[in-house]
Amino acid sequence: MKALVRSLLLALLLLALLLATSPPPAQSFEFPAQNIADLIEQTCRLTPFYDLCLSSLRSDPQSGAADVRGLARIMAGSVLAGASRTLDSIQELLSRAPDPESEQPLAYCAELYIPVVKYSLPQAIDALDKGQLGFAEYGLSDAGKEAEECEKNFSGHGGSPVTEGNELVRDLVGVALAIIKILQKTF
């Protein structure tokens, strides 16, 4: 009987020691923020475009209850919205029968943005929801690369009529990727 009690005590002691030395489960990263406004501000300070980050996150009503993963998802949604607006602008310019000089680069930009809007970014958002940070990072990076490629395509064609949209998408991607990097450091 004493051996059984001793074994149980030893097992409980080992379990207590194991629990005391184990790190807590990493479900989501939280800054030591007083409130959500502090969390948004602290998160945005770690991104390359602080003001863009703040305005994007604060304009979304869901940010009020979001953790850092939620903020990353909101930013990915902002990237999708920006890419969709840029694609709409490209398609509108194409429908107005632009001059032949700009038609080809605009058509090329549409070919770049369509799969980003329809596939890459929705899949990146879904990956964020599932905690697949690497895949989310890949999809978001693709959007930034395609925006840059669209812009480069206009060199020698008198400048891009969608520079503002391309730059916004690129900058939003930079913010979203920075927030994902914060998450990756915690897992």
pLDDT in tens, 143-187: 999 999 999 998 876 789 999 999 999 999 999 999 999 999 876
Q: How far apart are CA 46 and CA 179, in angstroms?
A: 8
The structural domains of the chain, with segments of one domain joined by +, span 31-186
Closest to 112 measured CA to CA, from 140, 157, 143, 80:
143
Closest to 72 measured CA to CA, from 124, 24, 26:
124
Q: How far apart are CA 128 and CA 131, in angstroms?
A: 5
Q: How far apart are CA 54 and CA 41, in angstroms?
A: 7
Q: How far apart are CA 150 and CA 102, in angstroms?
A: 12
pLDDT at 8 over 60: no
pLDDT at 21 over 70: no
CATH code that applies to domain 31-186: 1.20.140.40
